[in-house]
A and B are shown apart, each in its own frame.
Chain A
Amino acid sequence: MFRLPDRVTAWLLLLPALVLLAAFTHWPAVATLFHSVMSTPKKNRPSRFAGLDNFREMVADEVFWRALWNNIAFAVGTIPLSIGLAIVMALWVNSRIQGRGFLRLAYFTPTVLPMIAVANIWLFFYTPQYGLLEQITQSLGLPSHNWLGDKSTVLGALIIVAIWKEAGFFMIFYLAALQQVSPSLAEAAALEGASRWQYFRRVLFPLLMPTTLFVLINALINSVRMVDHIFVMTRGGPDSASTLLLYYIYQVGFSFWDSGYAAALTVVVLVALGLVAVLQFGFLERRTHYQ
């Protein structure tokens, strides 16, 4: 029977996936760079080479800087807390605590909800006067506060939503890692007279390091990607106090239809993701094995 050479078969198997990857990942990444140095086409003026004009506009654009700082604050506020909570949740759910079935359910449920639904639920939760939060603070005699309408609290309010959504998801990875840890380690540590805290600090936490790095990479990517809730809860306001980079790209690209500037903004996001990749390959790759 006729048989294709192995390498021909291999390329044929790869072809459909590679074509689509090239069309919707590699090409757009390259095209972003190209379009970031082109002007946005207008009615009577086709797109032309604009050099660094878009980037000069960016440096002078206050909203861009605010979006960048907001995004950094969002990442710094979300990541350590959600990872810390995830570890605690996993330790609890993995122990012989009472009602662990319910606990696992409660922690994990936000993960399966659409972010849009989550945003609606929390918008209601935060609503002045009617929201549950207001009802609680009022019953404690605290003054009314518009959490999403105040520049100084809006980002914090969104960070809490992100932590709520993500912690249970990260918990799963820690749970998987904890189940690989041999119970004899804990017994040996206990025999040696170590406290539970010492066992966690000196044995368990170092063992969980690959998981932590994996989760960290995911969390960093998510902090760039997660903007759905902004559409529902704040639309970037008040006064761009809750605008994140990807949301700003959406506004510039699809509300102001300024595709050249949107491409330049996308370059910033690609650079940020590139830094995450450097972190991953400089750090994670050395410790975990893909083979």
Chain B
Amino acid sequence: MSTAFRVAPASRALETAGAWLLALLWVLPLAYAVWTAFHPAAYSTRFELGAPLTLQNFVNAWNAAPFARYFLNTTLLVAMVLAAQLVLGTLAAYALARFEFRGRELVFALVLLQLMVMPDVLIVENYRTMNALGLRDTILAIGLPYFASAFGIFLLRQTFKTVPRELDDAARVEGASALQILLKVYVPLARPVYLAYALVSVSYHWNNFLWPLIITNSVETRPLTVGLQVFSSTDQGVDWSIITAATLMTSAPLLIGFLLFQRQFVQSFMRAGIR
């Protein structure tokens, strides 16, 4: 808390100890997985300082399942979803933020409905739809239900509303079209929000599992999360060294990205959360 209050040094020390204990507790499961993944199987559950380090578990995991393909699938999926969300969200947010038309409030309410009823729980019906469209087992089908994001539209609408109207009007007087105004005035001013939204969206879809599990059925379409689940539940029995190596491997891009850009990550999640 703040330094305004006089607190006995003993209780301050106790508090610091508590904070550190909780942090260590929080790191423990992950640290255990890291230990197991980087040591030979003989040391996977034995903690000795001199235990030899190895990358063999990662090599074995990589060779035991088509992880390269899974990485490609997830990358394609995440890029496709983000691109669609940004384009559709920008257009819709602009209409909701700066245009007067009948039914605007109703449309906005219908958009917000998706914050409550996410595609994540409508799996049965969306499966039926994808089947009817002939899209089952495609990467497009994994992403399609998420292309229009209520969260993205909402966030961008809030941001666009803070842009001074005078800028908009000035551009209008000079004969700029609505799309030109959007691209030249609004989008550049919203850049930090785009970055924040992109980080949140990428981490969500990199990690998404249930819908991809249902709609995909082959190596060519499966994202990493589903690939990891298939790999660890069927192929490996209980070889923990290899499973933890595969687990860390699939989380590595986000984890490393987070460690490198910690401040941006935290700020982005904060920005996305403030309403």
Contacts and interface: CB of A to CB of B under 8 A. Distances in A.
Contact of B209 (A116, A164, A172, A277): A116
A72 interface: no
Contacts of B275: 214, 288, 290
A102 B225 CA distance: 28
Given A20-B88, A25-B114, A176-B274, A109 B125 contact: no
Interface string B24-52: 10111110110010000000110000000
A246 B121 contact: yes
B148 A21 contact: yes
Interface in B231-275: 232-233, 240, 243-244, 247-248, 250-251, 254-255, 258-259, 262, 265-266, 269-271, 273-275
Contacts of B185: none
B95 A249 contact: no
A242 interface: no
Contacts of A246: 120-121, 210
B26 A107 contact: yes
A46 interface: no
A51 interface: no
Contacts of B121: 224-225, 246, 249, 266, 269-270, 273
A31 to B, nearest CB: 5
Given A3-B177, A10-B95, A112-B255, A266 B26 contact: no
A141 interface: no
Interface residues of A, number: 105
Contact of B124 (A116, A176, A190, A259): A259
Contacts of B68: none
Interface stretch (A60-68, A75-83, A124-132, A151-159): A124-132
B64 to A, nearest CB: 15
Main secondary structure of the interface of A (DSSP, over half): helix
B5 A195 contact: yes
A110 B28 CA distance: 11
B183 interface: no
B22 A24 contact: no
A252 B67 CA distance: 30
Contacts of B209: 114-116, 228, 231
B125 A35 contact: yes
Contacts of A10: 95, 99, 101, 104
Given A122-B29, A228-B210, A114 B122 contact: no
Interface string A85-103: 1001101101111110011
Contacts of B10: none
Nearest to B101: A7
B123 A249 contact: yes
Contacts of A88: 22
A21 B254 contact: no
Nearest to B108: A290
Contact of B153 (A17, A28, A199): A17
Interface string A1-34: 1011011011101101111110111111101100
Contact of B1 (A31, A85, A196): A196
A21 B254 CA distance: 28
Nearest to A125: B29
Interface residues of B, number: 100
B62 interface: no
A1 B124 CA distance: 49
A169 B269 contact: yes
B119 interface: yes
Contacts of B96: 14
Given A114-B206, A186-B5, A120 B258 contact: no
A28 B210 contact: no
Contacts of B99: 6-7, 9-10, 13
A104 B23 CA distance: 8
B183 to A, nearest CB: 13
B19 interface: yes
A52 interface: no
Interface in B145-178: 145, 147-148, 150, 153, 158, 161, 175, 177-178
16 contacts: A1-B175, A16-B88, A16-B148, A17-B148, A18-B110, A20-B148, A32-B122, A97-B15, A113-B30, A117-B228, A183-B4, A187-B4, A189-B4, A228-B209, A270-B117, A290-B158
Across the A-B interface, the 9 shortest Cβ-Cβ residue pairs: A28-B125, A10-B99, A114-B207, A106-B23, A20-B148, A13-B95, A7-B101, A24-B145, A17-B92
Given A105-B259, A120-B228, 8 more contacts: A14-B107, A29-B125, A95-B1, A107-B23, A117-B225, A125-B29, A221-B116, A249-B121
